[in-house]
């Protein structure tokens, strides 16, 4: 099987340290090869309790986070329970009212709705107060989450199903997103129920798993790759009207891949939770009436356009502010009026622009408290590193690449100094903060790039954490034409200088001067010169035409 693989993916995976058996597993889509979900702590206990609730037709509530992972998890549970003959009551917090996670007032609300079993999705690992309130009200609370356990003790819930509990031992399962944990629990519940009744296959629910996993930037280890690849195929079959709406409005020439989910579907689902309340996003995903899904889709589209405007204004201000502090090892910025719904995206943009970790702060709805969305850079385990400063925080949680926290405003200067000092003084962090932009997977010649070459690379996808999109070194490219798009994007055209007949290959270098840092690029001075590129290579579309495009990461001259 290994020898039959296309040469470039094989060379790249071997260069990344994978052996033959690991490469075989990388491309395998056999779901029978995934680890047993019963290895997740409390899985069997939770599955038996849910199976009992279904048999007894109890009132079950689903409480989900307001992001894509939480919303797709709620939708997945909705359909699973519906297929088992039970309607559930869905609850999601508002970012600006209840805030992240589940809190005692939501437990009280669930009790008022006569819910006897409440299941969280994508949240709850730090919900000690909510678990205690559930005990007091005699309400069974099952927490399903994937965020890292940061407290010494677990919440006193009926069950805490989380592969990232400290007592978890299976490394593969730790990569699951919240929606992956939800799917795993449904699989185990179905096994119990199938002893006495017939429950439909859960395979179609992988549509939701693929969206939530990719958009939450969960590590794409071989387990998640299997789940996501199956889910992506299912999305194209339009099993669910809500998901189908995202494809109905897709431009005819849009290429279908993981990036379409991450950059087109995900932001629309996320937009409501960022600016308003996530209800419309969930209603879109669980609605089976095409007319209603169209209405909800249009709401999400408009909200996402507004989100883009708000985000652009803040990113521009943040970039200007940090350019005055570029000697600092991390981007740590605070503005009282920055919209808390977009500060996570702003943090990601700052990481992209300045190649270092970013923490963006704004005021919370609680007087005297500021909150932050943080994003990592390089191989820095952000959540683990931030945990040493937890004495500053009121709330804190996350994973290796992203975290959220809140603190008293008066603590912000102290935290900032301590965090920056740690990045400067801790020699063990040096390698994790090195720029990886100039690394590359394989050297190719410009003339080797073809549609067949690109298709080979695409078969390694979808791409994301633990499975980055391959980068290539092209040593000899002659820049023969260029243009500046939107003031800071460099559109280039290259030929192979060693070929007498060489077709032009287009390339795009987004935010080229921001990304180049202090190495300012003057395109006119590079015209008709031979350059080396570090680039990703893929298809692009323009006016219903498909062509090869280089996504330039660095120009070497």
In which band, very low, low, confident or very high, does the pLDDT at 518 lie, cut at 50, 70 and 90? very low
What pTM did the predictor assign? 0.89
Using the predicted structure, report yes or no on whether residue 44 has a pLDDT greater than 60. yes
Which CATH number is associated with domain 33-287? Answer: 3.90.1640.30
How far from the centroid of its chain's Cα atoms is residue 297's Cα? 21
Write down the pLDDT at residue 427. Answer: 67
Checking DSSP bridges between strand 505-509 and strand 545-556, what pairing results, if any? parallel
Residue 36 DSSP code: P
Nearest to 509 by CA among 452, 447, 551: 551
Determine the Cα–Cα distance for residues 348 and 375; give it in Å rounded to an integer: 6
Q: Reduced to 3 states, what is the DSSP secondary structure of residue 468? A: coil
More confident residue, 546 or 505: 505
DSSP 144-187: E--S---SSS----SEEE-TTSTT---TTGGG--HHHHHHHHHH
In which band, very low, low, confident or very high, does the pLDDT at 108 lie, cut at 50, 70 and 90? very high
Q: Reduced to 3 states, what is the DSSP secondary structure of residue 100? A: coil
- Count of beta carbons in the 10 Å neighbourhood of residue 303: 21
Q: What percent of the chain lies above the pLDDT cut of 90?
A: 70
User: Is 2.40.128.20 the CATH classification of the domain at 442-556?
Assistant: no
Using the predicted structure, report yes or no on whether residue 86 has a pLDDT greater than 90. yes
Determine the Cα–Cα distance for residues 188 and 413; give it in Å rounded to an integer: 48
Determine the Cα–Cα distance for residues 210 and 341; give it in Å rounded to an integer: 24
Question: What tokens appear for 259 in the block?
Answer: 């990036």
Greatest pairwise CA separation for the chain in angstroms: 80
User: How many helices, marked H, and strands, marked E, lie in the chain?
Assistant: 20, 16
In which band, very low, low, confident or very high, does the pLDDT at 516 lie, cut at 50, 70 and 90? very low
CATH class of 326-426: alpha beta
Question: What residue has token string 């999601």?
Answer: 92
More confident residue, 325 or 28: 28
Alpha helices in 394-509 (DSSP H): 412-425, 451-458
Q: Where are the domains of the chain?
A: 33-287, 326-426, 442-556
Determine the Cα–Cα distance for residues 86 and 305; give it in Å rounded to an integer: 36
Using the predicted structure, report yes or no on whether residue 112 has a pLDDT greater than 80. yes
């Amino acid at each position: 099987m290994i020898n039959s693989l296309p040469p470039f993916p094989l060379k790249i995976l071997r260069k990344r340290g994978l052996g033959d058996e690991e490469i075989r597993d990388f491309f395998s889509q056999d779901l029978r090869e995934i680890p047993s979900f019963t290895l997740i702590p409390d899985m069997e206990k939770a599955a038996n309790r849910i199976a009992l609730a279904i048999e007894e037709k109890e009132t079950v509530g689903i409480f989900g986070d307001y992001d894509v992972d939480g919303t797709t998890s709620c939708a997945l549970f909705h359909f699973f329970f519906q297929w088992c003959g039970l309607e559930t009551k869905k609850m999601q917090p508002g970012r600006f009212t209840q805030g992240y996670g589940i809190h005692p007032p939501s437990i009280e609300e669930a009790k008022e709705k006569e819910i006897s079993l409440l299941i969280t999705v994508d949240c709850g690992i730090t919900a000690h107060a909510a678990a205690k309130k559930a005990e007091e009200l005699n309400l069974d609370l099952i927490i399903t989450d994937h965020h890292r356990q940061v407290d010494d003790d677990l919440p006193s819930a009926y069950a805490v199903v989380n592969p990232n509990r400290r007592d978890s031992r299976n490394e593969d399962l730790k990569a699951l997103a919240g929606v992956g944990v939800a799917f795993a629990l449904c699989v185990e519940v179905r096994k119990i129920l199938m002893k006495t009744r017939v429950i439909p296959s859960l395979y179609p629910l992988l549509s939701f798993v693929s969206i939530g996993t990719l958009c939450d930037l969960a590590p794409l280890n071989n387990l998640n790759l299997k789940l996501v690849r199956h889910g992506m195929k299912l999305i194209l079959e339009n099993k669910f009207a809500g998901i189908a709406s995202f494809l109905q409005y897709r431009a005819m020439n849009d290429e279908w891949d993981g990036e379409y989910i991450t950059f087109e579907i995900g932001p629309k689902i996320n937009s409501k939770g960022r600016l308003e309340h996530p209800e419309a996003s969930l209603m879109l995903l669980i609605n089976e009436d095409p007319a209603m899904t169209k209405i909800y889709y249009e709401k999400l589209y408009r909200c996402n356009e507004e989100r883009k405007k708000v985000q652009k204004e803040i990113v521009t201000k943040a970039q200007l502010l940090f350019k005055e502090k570029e000697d600092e090892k991390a981007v740590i910025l605070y503005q009282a009026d920055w919209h808390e719904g977009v500060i996570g995206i702003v943090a990601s943009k700052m990481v992209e622009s300045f190649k270092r970790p970013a923490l963006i702060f704004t005021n919370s709805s609680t007087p005297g408290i500021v909150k932050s969305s943080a994003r990592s850079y390089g191989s820095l385990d952000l959540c683990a590193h931030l945990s040493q400063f937890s004495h500053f925080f009121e709330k804190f949680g996350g994973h290796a690449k992203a975290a959220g926290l809140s603190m008293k405003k008066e603590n912000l200067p102290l935290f900032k100094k301590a965090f920056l000092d740690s990045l400067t003084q801790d020699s063990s962090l040096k390698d994790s903060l090195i720029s990886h932009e100039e690394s590359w997977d394989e050297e190719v010649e410009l003339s080797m790039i073809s549609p067949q070459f690109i298709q080979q690379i695409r078969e390694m996808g979808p791409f994301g954490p633990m499975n980055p999109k391959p980068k290539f070194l092209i040593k000899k490219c002659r820049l023969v034409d260029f243009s500046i798009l939107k003031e800071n994007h460099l559109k280039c055209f290259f030929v192979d200088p060693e070929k007498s007949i060489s077709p032009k290959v287009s390339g795009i270098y987004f935010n080229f001067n921001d990304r180049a840092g202090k190495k300012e690029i003057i395109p006119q001075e590079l015209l008709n010169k031979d350059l080396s590129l570090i680039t990703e290579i893929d298809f692009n579309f323009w006016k219903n035409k498909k062509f090869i495009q280089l996504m330039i990461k660095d120009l070497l001259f």
